[in-house]
Copies of this chain bind each other. A is one copy, B any other.
């Protein structure tokens, strides 16, 4: 692992049964066993993605984890040969489902699809993810809305801690029984309180996990506060283990998280924004529906080498968007994800050759006027 001598940035390699993942890494989100608009072929050939994220909550509800298990696991189900990280389902339970009730045992919720009641426990979410056979699994955690009071956040964090211990104990039993299973990452919670974050991180160290996540960020808090929480947490986590900040971020934030010692990130931003007509380029954002692009023959981003930029004009992308063509979503998603993955590859390269602090400074001065 290479470390930047002036920031907390690190460049490493994560090994899973489905290959090597160079870090820092951004993971495209494949919510329902599909990165919306892309086939595995594009993820491989156009993006060279090494790992994608899929959502346990969604797959649990549809098609069901037992169905996926019987079909040979998630990799085979979606025909994806490289690594998969699954979340615990906690975030979606707290953001999508109705009538949830949190107890020490777990969280009772109703499906956003049909209203059926389900219980997620620290143990059951491990079992669901074992059925999916993901390479990196997450423990069940409670996610709070922003803002949350200190006492509420403390109780919630204690519950997340207790769940992590239970989930881990269950995970170790299962590994012992079957001899197999992916890595399991616990999640540091604590809302926007550094003392709770530090306490949670410190306690989770005892689990000796293969990696640690920082959760509960990007839930509406100011970006400075997100960064502060990462600063309070990351240095406490084991130096030799990957650190994953869940659900971030904007393109200009990626190097900021890396500078604070983060190795893994994910966000629906690049893919969702792509579908909504907001495209990230080296020269800033392009809102493709704007009339100025109607007869623009140039590529979306002249500095980008993605399939979309190599082959299609802004005018064509605008036309596809206006016409509601499916192809728009694919071409836009390829571009935005390539933009994110290229940013991360550039960051990794800068760390390795020792120029990351200058790169970070350049990004900060470029994005400053937008603030």
- Which residues 35-55 of A sit at the B interface, judged by CB distance below 8 A? 36-41
User: What 0/1 pattern do residues 136 to 172 of A give for CB contact below 8 A with B?
Assistant: 0000000000000000000000000000000000000
A101 at the interface (CB under 8 A from B): no
A307 at the interface (CB under 8 A from B): yes
User: What 0/1 pattern do residues 309 to 330 of A give for CB contact below 8 A with B?
Assistant: 0011101101110110111011
Q: 9 tightest CB-CB pairs across the interface, nearest first?
A: A32-B323, A63-B319, A37-B326, A34-B327, A79-B311, A34-B325, A326-B329, A71-B315, A36-B326
15 example contacts (A-B, Cβ-Cβ < 8 A) are as follows A32-B319, A32-B323, A33-B316, A33-B320, A38-B327, A39-B327, A62-B319, A62-B323, A63-B319, A71-B295, A71-B297, A71-B313, A77-B315, A326-B326, A330-B330
Give residues in A with beta carbon < 8 Å to B.
Answer: 32-34, 36-41, 58, 62-63, 67, 70-72, 77-79, 294-295, 297, 307, 311-313, 315-316, 318-320, 322-323, 325-327, 329-331
- Taking a contact as CB atoms under 8 Å apart, the answer to whether A41 and B325 are in contact is no
Which of B58, B70, B297, B327 touches A295 (beta carbons < 8 Å)? B70
User: Chain B contacts of A38 at CB under 8 A?
Assistant: 327
User: Chain B contacts of A323 at CB under 8 A?
Assistant: 32, 34, 58, 62
